[in-house]
Structure 1
Amino acid sequence: MRVTLKDIADEAGVSIMTVSNVVNGNRARVSADTIERIQRIVADRGYVPSASARSLAAKSSRMIGLLVPAADEDSLMISPHNVAILGQIERQLRKSGYHLLLRGIAQPSEVGEALKSWSLDGAVLLNFFDEDIDRLTPGAVGNVSLLAVDSYSDNPLTTGVRSDDYTGALLAARHLLGLGHREIVFASPAITGVGVVHQRYKGFRAAFAEADLTWTERLVTIETATHTTGREVGRRIPTEHPDATAVFATADILAIGIMEGLADSGHAVPDQLSVVGFDNLDLSEYVTPKLTTVAQDIPQKAALAVERLLASIEKQEHPDSPITLDVQLIERSSTGPVRR
C-alpha cells in the first residue's frame, strides 16, 4: 500500500502538517531532531510525495507540453531533428523540476484544448506552420505560457528561439560556389512566403546574387523531409537535372536519403554530385561519405527555449523579440570540386 503523510506523522509522533513542511522543505519552525526523525522514517518506509497533491497545493501542474503537428491518421512529425530537440528540452525541464508531455496536434484549434485539458503550466510549439501560430489568440490559449521553436511568426504569445536559417543556407551555397559548382539543385519541402524553408531559400539565392551569378531554378520540392523521400529525389535528380553538379538539401535526413538515391542510380558522391545538408545531426558523421552540413546548436536552442518559457511561467517575463542563434558550415567528404 502507498505510504501516506499520515503514516509518517503517526510513526514520528507529530502532526501531518509538520511532516508536510519537512518533506516540502519548509523547515524553519521544525527542530533538527524532528527533521532527522521524519527524514529517517521517510527513507525507511519508501515514501514518495504525490505529484498531483503537490500540484494542487502549489496551484501548478509542473507539466510542460511539447506540441507537435500530427495528421488525424498519421503519426507525429518526429524527424531526427525533432527527436534531438525533444531530448534536450526534456533534459532541461527535468533539471528544473518539470515534466514533459508530448502531444500530437491534428488541427491548430486543438492547441487550446490541449493546454486546458492537461492543466499545463506552459507549452513548446515545435514544427508548426507560422500561419497556424499567427492564428493563436489569448482567448484560445488562456493564461498558459507558450514558446515556439524555429518560428518566424510575429505572434507575441509565442516569442521563442530559432537558428539563423538565412545565413546557414548562404554559407552552404557559398561553399558550393567556391568549389566551382553553378548548376545546384535546391531540395526542400514546399516553399511558402514565410518560415524556416523560406529563409533558407532566400539565403541560398543570396549567395548567387552576391557572386553576381544567375541561378537557373532547379527546385525539387517534397511533402516532408524524410529519408524515404530523399532517396526518391536522389534517384530522380540525374534524370530531371542531368547538368546538375551539386545538391543543397534543407535537412540532413533529406540529404542522406538523396545520397543513397544517387548511389542507387549509379552516381557517386562527391565525384559526380556534391551534397550539403542542414542540421549537423549525429547521422551526418555515420554515413559514407560523411555529410557536409550547416551546424545549428540544438542543445543551446533547447536550453534557451526552456529558460525563456520558465521565466514566463515563474517570473511573468515575456520577451518581445526572438533569439536567433549562430550557425556554421561543417565541411566533410560529401562535397568536392566540380568535375568537368
Structure 2
Amino acid sequence: MTVKLSDIADAAGVSVMTVSNVMNGKRARVSETTIARVQEIADRLGYVPNIQARSLKASRSHIVAAFVPVREESSLLMSPHTVAVIGGVEQHLRHRGYHVLLRGIEHADEIAQTIRGWSLDGAILVEFTDAEIDRIGIDGVPLVALDSYSANPRTIGVRTDDHRGGWVAGARLAEAAHRHVLFAGPPYEGMGVVGQRFEGFRSACVAAGIDAGSIEVEQVLTSFEDGRELGLRLRRDHPAVTAVFATADVLAIGIMAGLVESGASVPGDVSIIGFDDFEMSAYTSPGLTTVAQDMPSKVAETARIILDEIEGREGPRVPVSFGIELVERGTVAPPRAD
C-alpha cells in the first residue's frame, strides 16, 4: 500500500502541510522535535517520495554533486579524506531528503556544464586546487569548496587551520631536538591547503632555531605507494634527515612502511608526524603521531552550509575554519646520538 503524506500527518498529529514541509526540506519554521517525529514515522511506515513530481513542483532536483578531480586515472575514492568527506556529507543530506551525485572532473571547466546538465541544486568541491576553483564561473548555484583558500566569491570555503597544523608539527619535531627535517606532500603551488601546512611547518622550525637550509622538501602524491617509495629511498636521498612531516596519514604510513622495508626503524632512525588522525593511524606499529583535524564538524558544517544556501537560509559567505590537535602516539623520539 502506498503511504501518503496524510498517513504520516495522522500518525504524527500534525498537518499535511507540516509533513510536506519536512519532506521537501522546508524546515525553517518546523521544530527539531517535530522534524524528528515526522521523519521517524515516515521511515517506519516506509514512505517513498515521488522525487520527480517533487522536483517539478519545487523547481529543484534535490541532487547535490560531490565533485572530485581526476588525477592520472587514479580512483576517485583512493584518498581516505575523500571517502570520509563524501560518506559524511551523503549521510547528512540523505536525512534531509537530498541525493548525492559523485562525479569525477578532468577539467574545472566541466563543473558548470555538469551543474546545468543535471539541474543540480548545489555542489561540493573536494580536493581541487585553488587555481581550479578560481576558474569556476557559474552563478546562482551554491558551491562549497573543501580545504580551499580560493578567493572565488562564488564559493564558500570550509577548511582546517592548516597553518596551525603545520606549525604544531614543526614545533613538536623541534622540541624533540631534530635539526634536519623533511616536509613530504603534494606540490603546493596553487594548492593553498598544502602551502599553508608547509608555511606553518617551516615557520615553526625556523622559530625553534632550525636552519632554513636544513628543511628539505619532497613533493609526492598523497598515497600509500608514493609514501612507501619515498621511505625506501629516504636515507639514501636525504641522509641527514632525522624526522618527516607528511601532509596526510596515508602518506606518512607509506613512508613508515618503506623505511622499515629498507632496514630503518621508526622512530629510532626517523621520526614521523602525519596529518588527519584517521582510524588507520592508531593501528600502525608504532601508532602514528599525527595532527588531528575535526572531520565530523567539518563535514557537518559543509552539509549545513549547502542546505542553508539551497533552502534560502543564507548566512555570511565567509570561510569557516576548524581547529587542530596533536595526537601523540609512538612515532616521535629524539634523534640518535652520533
Q: Deviations over 1:115-142 (max 9, x none)?
A: 11111111100100100111112xxx24
The whole-number CA distance in structure 2 between the counterparts of 1:271 and 1:46 is 58
Which amino acid in structure 2 is aligned with residue 146 of structure 1? L
In structure 2, the residue matched to 1:284 is 281
The whole-number CA distance in structure 2 between the counterparts of 1:22 and 1:228 is 53
Q: Which of 216, 234, 237 is equivalent to 2:234? A: 237
In structure 2, the residue matched to 1:84 is 84
Are 1:24 and 2:48 counterparts?
no
Are 1:161 and 2:161 counterparts?
no
C-alpha contact (below 8 Å) 1:71/1:105 kept by paired residues = no
Within-5 A mapping of 1:110-149: 110-137=110-137, 141-149=138-146
The whole-number CA distance in structure 1 between the counterparts of 2:106 and 2:46 is 41
The whole-number CA distance in structure 1 between the counterparts of 2:292 and 2:163 is 13
The whole-number CA distance in structure 2 between the counterparts of 1:168 and 1:60 is 39
C-alpha contact (below 8 Å) 2:149/2:193 kept by paired residues = yes
What's the offset of the Cα at 1:318?
A: 5.2
The whole-number CA distance in structure 2 between the counterparts of 1:277 and 1:72 is 24
In structure 2, the residue matched to 1:219 is 217
Q: Which of 267, 292, 295 is equivalent to 2:292? A: 295
Change (3 A) 1:261 1:72: closer
Which amino acid in structure 2 is aligned with residue 128 of structure 1? F
Are 1:102 and 2:98 counterparts?
no
The whole-number CA distance in structure 2 between the counterparts of 1:260 and 1:122 is 40
Q: Deviations over 1:252-281 (max 9, x none)?
A: 000000000000100000111111000101
In structure 1, the residue matched to 2:65 is 65
Percent identical among aligned pairs is 44
Q: Which of 173, 176, 198 is equivalent to 2:173? A: 176
Structure 1 segments, 4+ long, off by >2 Å, are 2-5, 20-26, 45-49, 71-75
Are 1:268 and 2:234 counterparts?
no
Of structures 1 and 2, the larger Rg is shown by 1
Which amino acid in structure 1 is aligned with residue 314 of structure 2? E
The normalised TM-score by structure 1 is: 0.84
Which amino acid in structure 1 is aligned with residue 101 of structure 2? L
What is the SS of the residue equivalent to 1:294?
strand
The whole-number CA distance in structure 1 between the counterparts of 2:298 and 2:257 is 30
In structure 2, the residue matched to 1:33 is none
Q: Which moved more, 1:296-305 or 1:206-215?
A: 206-215
Q: Which of 244, 254, 265 is equivalent to 1:257? A: 254
Change (3 A) 1:259 1:116: same
C-alpha contact (below 8 Å) 2:202/2:215 kept by paired residues = no
The whole-number CA distance in structure 2 between the counterparts of 1:51 and 1:61 is 8
What is the SS of the residue equivalent to 1:24?
helix
C-alpha contact (below 8 Å) 2:174/2:210 kept by paired residues = no
Q: Deviations over 1:59-111 (max 9, x none)?
A: 11111110100148443254011111111111111222221111111111110
Give 5+ residue unaligned stretches, structure 1: 10-19, 27-41
What's the offset of the Cα at 1:203?
A: 0.4
Paired residues, number: 309
What is the SS of the residue equivalent to 2:177?
coil
The whole-number CA distance in structure 1 between the counterparts of 2:290 and 2:329 is 8
| RMSD after superposition | 2.6
Q: Which moved more, 1:55-64 or 1:308-317?
A: 308-317
Give 5+ residue unaligned stretches, structure 2: 7-15, 23-41
C-alpha contact (below 8 Å) 1:69/1:77 kept by paired residues = no
Q: Which moved more, 1:159-168 or 1:66-75?
A: 66-75
Which amino acid in structure 1 is aligned with residue 265 of structure 2? A
What's the offset of the Cα at 1:164?
A: 0.5
Change (3 A) 1:4 1:297: closer
In structure 1, the residue matched to 2:148 is 151
C-alpha contact (below 8 Å) 1:159/1:319 kept by paired residues = no
What is the SS of the residue equivalent to 1:275?
strand
In structure 1, the residue matched to 2:48 is 48
